[in-house]
């Protein structure tokens, strides 16, 4: 069983395929890790051990009978407590209403279940997934495995902490303003935000929100290696084909040279807040620049000019959906400070303001794509500083909380607005043992290229 802890997700999947391990071995191992580590790290809010072991036995029976099995047959993973898993409560990280037992799987859960993945439970999120941490009023916060006094990031923070601590081999996250890339950066993982529409289950309701703004949230993998991220990405897109994994295995990493990479530390939030990079963020960026240059890419300072209206416009669109959140009458007082304040603003906002913000954000998104499109890839710092302490955000009023989030994550939400893919990759370990990294923003459809670049950076 000790060998399981040392395996990458890909190695584990292949061992399951060969019959070297049973699904019950794998699931039992990770459930044991959760039992040992979760009391300290707060990654899981619900553990479904009995259901997981039953599913593992079914996976083993399929394999033993020689039946066709899915790409991830017998692989343990978990889901953020924003997604429905049939028979399991979904809490959304809020005290405003009690967790409701889901009657069917969310589309992404259904896709990964068809691939043979086995859910071990639900992982911690901020209230409604709004924040770049994973703290709420209903369960212990998700803590950083490298220093449990610090945040694991968010909103996929419980998921990221579980992967980084070895409670899961990899994990599916969701990213509406950086919610895969932020915790990946905090926890020394690779985090891929695919382009809008790359994962079919993300766009079943279209690509625009109720006011006509670009939808922001997509699903993406959190993993310790680029190959692991590629494997999970394949299952999320199409469980019948290993497209991304095959590309990395077929020489794409060594063949990738000569990209024009624009380097930028400018942020669209700078018109509203002071954006200051910590020395460790500069060090991580410089390590990434040197590593990519050594692989034959051409790096240059990018000239990018961001619309000063972005902070207010993004905030209006980002919080618009809170007005329609199904909060029971009289339960608004149970919302956390940030959600309660932003819901009040969204509820009192007139329709024309929301429609105008949607139109403006669409124009800003087009401008982002045009400016970044002068380069094959745009390179930015991943985060502006190392992860803050637990309570750094939630101890503040709503506006200070939000400002601090924007200052920590000044480069992530703009990519969601653009609809383009991006990936964060660790490049530097601080003197205190924390991880810092870079973000690579690609062109539409460049997820394979971004994974190859992540592998190049991982080999530096």
Measured in whole angstroms, the distance separating CA 52 from the mean position of its chain's CA atoms is 23
In angstroms, what CA-CA distances link 258 with 235, 368, 421, 431, 460? 30, 23, 20, 33, 17
CA gap 173, 194 in Å, rounded: 11
The catalytically annotated residue of 43, 179, 264, 435 is 179
Measured in whole angstroms, the distance separating CA 93 from the mean position of its chain's CA atoms is 16
Cβ-count burial 139-154 (b if 16+ within 10 Å, e if not):
bbbbbbbbebebbbbb
For residue 425, which phi and psi values (nearest 5 degrees)? Answer: -140, 135
Q: Are strands 260-263 and 377-381 parallel, antiparallel or unpaired?
A: parallel
In angstroms, what CA-CA distances link 47 with 97, 132, 217, 335? 20, 23, 25, 25
Q: Is 80 part of the annotated catalytic residue set?
A: yes
Among residues 152, 193, 143, 148, which one has the least CA distance to residue 172?
193
The catalytically annotated residue of 22, 119, 131, 155 is 155
The catalytically annotated residue of 22, 43, 80, 131 is 80
Q: Is 122 part of the annotated catalytic residue set?
A: no
Q: Is 155 part of the annotated catalytic residue set?
A: yes
For residue 111, which phi and psi values (nearest 5 degrees)? Answer: -65, -50
- Alpha-carbon torsion (117, 420, 423, 38), positive or negative: negative
| Strands annotated E in 87-217 | 89-90, 100-101, 118-123, 143-144, 147-151, 171-175, 190-193
DSSP 6-34: H--HHHHHHHHHHTSS-HHHHHHHHHHHH
CA gap 228, 1 in Å, rounded: 20
DSSP 90-107: E-TT-SSS--EE-SS--H
List active site positions. 80, 155, 179
């Amino acid at each position: 069983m000790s060998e399981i802890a040392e395996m990458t997700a890909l190695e584990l999947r292949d061992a399951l395929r060969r019959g070297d391990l049973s699904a019950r071995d794998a699931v039992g191992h990770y459930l044991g890790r959760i039992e040992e580590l979760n009391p300290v790290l707060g990654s899981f809010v619900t553990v479904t051990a009995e259901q997981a072991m039953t599913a593992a036995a079914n996976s083993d029976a399929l394999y033993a009978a020689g039946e066709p099995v899915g790409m991830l047959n017998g692989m343990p993973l978990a889901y953020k407590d924003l997604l429905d898993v049939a028979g399991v409560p979904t809490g959304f990280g809020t005290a405003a209403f009690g967790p409701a037992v889901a009657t069917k799987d969310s589309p992404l859960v259904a896709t990964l279940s068809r691939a043979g993945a086995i859910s071990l439970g639900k992982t911690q999120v901020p209230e409604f997934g709004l924040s770049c941490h994973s703290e709420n009023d209903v369960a212990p916060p998700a803590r950083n495995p490298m220093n449990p006094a610090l945040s694991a990031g968010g909103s996929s923070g419980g998921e990221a902490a579980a992967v980084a601590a070895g409670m899961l081999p990899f994990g599916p996250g969701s990213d509406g303003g950086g919610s895969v890339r932020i915790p990946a950066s905090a926890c020394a993982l690779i985090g891929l935000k695919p382009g809008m529409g790359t994962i079919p289950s993300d766009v079943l309701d279209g690509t625009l929100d109720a006011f006509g703004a670009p939808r922001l949230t997509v699903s993406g993998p959190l993993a310790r290696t680029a190959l692991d991220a590629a494997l999970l990405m394949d299952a999320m897109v199409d469980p019948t084909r290993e497209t991304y994994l095959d590309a990395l295995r077929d020489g794409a990493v060594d063949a990738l040279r000569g990209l024009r990479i624009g380097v930028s530390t400018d942020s669209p939030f700078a018109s509203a807040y002071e954006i200051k990079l910590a020395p460790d963020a500069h060090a991580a960026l410089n390590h990434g620049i040197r590593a990519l240059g050594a692989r034959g890419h051409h790096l240059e300072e990018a000239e990018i000019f961001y619309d000063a209206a972005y902070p207010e416009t993004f905030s209006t669109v980002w919080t618009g959906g809170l007005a329609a959140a199904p909060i029971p009458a009289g339960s608004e007082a149970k919302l956390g400070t940030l959600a309660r304040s932003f819901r009040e603003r969204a509820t009192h906002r007139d329709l024309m303001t929301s429609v105008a913000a949607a139109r403006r954000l669409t124009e800003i998104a087009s401008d982002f794509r045009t400016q970044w499109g002068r380069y094959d890839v745009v390179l930015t710092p991943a985060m502006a500083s190392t992860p803050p302490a637990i309570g750094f955000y939630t101890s503040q009023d709503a506006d200070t909380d939000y400002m601090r989030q924007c200052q920590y994550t000044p480069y992530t939400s703009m990519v969601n607005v653009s609809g383009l893919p991006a990936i964060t990759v660790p490049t530097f370990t601080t003197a205190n043992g924390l991880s810092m990294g870079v973000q690579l923003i690609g062109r539409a459809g460049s997820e394979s290229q971004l994974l190859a670049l992540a592998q190049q950076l991982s080999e530096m």
